[in-house]
Amino acid sequence: MAEKARVEAVAFANESRERLFGTLHRPANPRAGAPAIVLLSPGVKMRVGPGRLYVPLTEMLNAKGYTVLRFDFFGLGDSEGELQESMLADVYNNIEVGRYVSDTTSALRWLREAHGFDKFVLGGLCGGAITALLTAQREERVTGLLSLGMTVTLASNAAAPAKFMTSHQLDSMRQGYIRKLLRPGSWLRLLTFRSDYTVIWYSFKNMVARKRPQAPAQPVAADAPLEQRGNANPLFPPAFFSFLQRGGRALMLFSGKDRLQAEYVEKFATPYAAQLAPFAPQLREHVVENANHVLSFPEWQREMVDVSRSWIASLEGA
């Protein structure tokens, strides 16, 4: 019978001396010289990820000989500390600007000092992905980025959501409104002022406006005014290029029915196409068709795991 991977409960301190709790998953047959892989928590969900997304990913990585650490950031999951925000969007926004880079650095230090690892792959969904990238920008020992649903925007600007929606999102919203035309409940919402008129307006305006030829989007400086920058995260482009310039390799996996994929294309990949081109060999992009943000159905999870397996094999020659 094949040996099983071993799991143990662990805790280590961050820079504020708060204890962070996690689980360390060791392979039955460790791969010599392999990086440790740290899967970072998305949003406020804890270290297993929504729908326990990180469980099959961890099992695959263990089977390929990699050690995996999953842990909770301060104020979340089982870890110590308290968050002061009262709204989820503000928590998300603070994650997107790097709140948990320091905790991730503490995790890497702990893996280095307690377990002897000297290189790492960071991975995660959404908030976990941007935290991975912002850490990779600072930590040269991070050689790979396993990004699931990278977010290139800031959540707090969602106060004016329609203004910053992608064409894809507005198309989707408009189709939804058209489907609701025959539903009395939808008309009741509209007539009792419970609908978001701004979104309705922008979605139909987009249909007309898109018929005119548009100039391709251009890169916008990180310190540009909000009106030019929209809801794009100014920290993303410099972090991504910094990571690529020092040879980092990334799997950029998105879900087909997730706004994050359209945002990545419209707000980053298209305007920065010329700058991205030289790094194409270091990037692997994959879209799981029809999948939702959290890859909840098993077939979507399996595809994510299969693509990750193939990518990690190409990364390390596994």
Query: Under the rule (CB under 8 A), what is the footprint of other proteins?
Result: 7-11, 17-19, 21, 23, 44-48, 50-53, 70, 75-78, 80-83, 85-91, 175, 179, 257, 290-292, 294-298, 301
Q: What does the block give as tokens for 23?
A: 């689980």
Task: Identify the bridge partners of residue 70 per DSSP, sorted by sequence position.
Answer: 23, 39
Q: How far is the CB of 245 from other proteins (least distance, A)?
A: 36
CA within 13 Å, CB half, 18:
18
Amino acid at 247: G
CA distance 98 to 233: 11
Ramachandran assignment for 61, one of left (phi > 0), alpha (psi -120 to 50 degrees), beta (any other): alpha
Residue pair 258/313 in contact (Cβ under 8 Å)? The answer is no
Q: How far is the CB of 196 from other proteins (least distance, A)?
A: 14
Is 278 or 298 the residue whose CB approaches other proteins more closely? 298
Burial 29-54 (b: 16+ CB within 10 A, else e): eeeeebbbbbbbbbbbbbbbbbbebb
Residue pair 170/176 in contact (Cβ under 8 Å)? The answer is no
Q: How far is the CB of 285 from other proteins (least distance, A)?
A: 20
Q: How far is the CB of 314 from other proteins (least distance, A)?
A: 27
Angle at 177 between CA 176 and CA 181, to 5 degrees: 120
Q: How far is the CB of 222 from other proteins (least distance, A)?
A: 27
Is 50 or 219 the residue whose CB approaches other proteins more closely? 50
Is 179 or 210 the residue whose CB approaches other proteins more closely? 179
Is 51 or 234 the residue whose CB approaches other proteins more closely? 51
The residue behind tokens 């540009």 is: 224
Q: What does the block give as tokens for 166?
A: 């992608």
Q: How far is the CB of 290 from other proteins (least distance, A)?
A: 5
Is 55 or 318 the residue whose CB approaches other proteins more closely? 55
CA distance 231 to 110: 35
How would you list the strands of the sheet with 19-26, edge to edge? 6-13, 19-26, 68-71, 36-40, 120-125, 142-148, 249-255, 283-288
Q: How far is the CB of 295 from other proteins (least distance, A)?
A: 8
- Compute the residue count for the chain: 318
Longest Cα pair distance anywhere in the chain, in angstroms?
A: 66
Is 78 or 285 the residue whose CB approaches other proteins more closely? 78
CA distance 306 to 318: 14
Is 90 or 285 the residue whose CB approaches other proteins more closely? 90
